[in-house]
Every structure is written in C-alpha cells, then in structure tokens.
Amino acid sequence: MKRCPKCRSSDIRKLPEHPRLKISHHFCNDCEERTPTHRLLDLPDQRTITEFSVDFKWFDLWVGAFIDVPSRALYIILIPTIVFKWQKKEVYICEFCNSDMHQAAYNTGDGWLLFYECDDEQCDHTHDLEDYWPWGDERVSGDDLEKRGWKVV
C-alpha cells in the first residue's frame, strides 16, 4: 500500500500531472504535503495495538505521570520504582500469512538495508524498504537502530 513518506498515512490522492514537468504528484490529506509519486513509501498494511507492562526500575525514584510522545507511551508511577506503562504501536501485517511483521536492518557494508520481516517462521516473507532512510543525513550504528526499535540481523 502506498503511504506518505512524512506521516505514513495512506490517505493520499493523486494530483493532475503538470503539463511541463511530466512528474506525477500525490497529496496527503493528513499532513497536507505534496509528494512526487516516486517518493511514496510502499509499506504493508498495519494495525494499532496497545501494550501494557509493569516493571521494576530501581532508578525511577519519583511519583507521577509522563507522556512520551515520540514513542506514544504513557508512564505512571504511583509507588517509586514500580512503573506502569501503556504504549500504542503500529504493527505491520504480512500480506501472505496475516502474521505480524517486525522492523529489521542488515548492514550491507555500504550502509543499512531496512526491511520488514514476518514473525511466522514458516512464512519467511520480507518486505524491503528500498531507498528509505527516515533519519535524513544522520549516520546511525547498530546500537542506535536497536534503540529505535529495529532488529539488527
């Protein structure tokens, strides 16, 4: 499914082709950005899940609530060191077996290849993200990718 490279929304519409430029564009209705068609992301379908966890964190010696907007998580600490966490995640779905897919990265030697890999061991389907690098000119290591939720293989 084609998605906006900025907000990953699938709510896009094709604009009429410019007579002189000969490049087709799409318009995202969510972030209101105009994008050339060749820059759209081809991502698998996704669904939103909510995860809940309770953890012991010896270094969290405070009481209150914290909203982590980039990772879409809510942390509530009613008793120091006991952390309640609610998090919303976007999970991509394999088009062949309908299992969840996870983000993975492979170091090719010239850079990182980003792709989605099916969680079902029997399916073994991958979805490559060619020319997709969401961090601009930033160089990232394998540790940085793991911190950002990518599995390094």
Q: What is the pLDDT of residues 40-69, one digit of tens each?
A: 666 667 788 899 999 999 988 999 999 988
Say yes or no to pLDDT of 3 above 70: yes
Pair 66, 80 in one domain: yes
Region 92-107 average pLDDT: 86
Say whether 79 sits in a helix, a strand or coil.
Answer: strand
Residues 60, 82, single domain; the answer is: yes
One domain for residues 10 and 38: yes
Q: What percent of the chain has pLDDT over 70?
A: 88
Same domain? 101 vs 139: yes
Sheet strands (E) in 57-143: 64-68, 73-79, 82-93, 100-107, 112-118, 126-128
Residues constituting the chain:
153
Q: Which one has a higher pLDDT value, 149 or 17? A: 149
In DSSP terms, which residues pair with 27 in a beta bridge?
13, 34
* One domain, residues 107 and 78: no
Structural domain boundaries enclosing 135 = 94-152
Task: Say if residue 111 is in the same domain as residue 83.
Answer: no
Q: Are 150 and 112 in contact (CB under 8 A)?
A: no
Q: Alpha-carbon distance 68 to 49, whole Å?
A: 17
Place of tokens 């090719």: 108
- Same domain, yes or no, for 122 and 80? no
Q: Is the pTM of this model over 0.85?
A: no
102 and 71 in one domain?
Answer: no
> Is residue 140 domain-shared with residue 126, that is, in the same domain?
yes
Highest mean pLDDT among 22-31, 41-50, 133-142 belongs to 133-142
Q: Contact 99/119 with Cβ under 8 angstroms?
A: yes
User: Angle at the Cα of 37 (from 36 to 42), degrees rounded to 5?
Assistant: 125
Residues 125, 104 share a domain = yes
Give the span between the Cα atoms of 31 and 115, in whole angstroms.
24
* Co-location of 19 and 38 in the same domain: yes
Residues 30 and 52 grouped into a single domain: no
Structural domain tally of the chain? Answer: 3
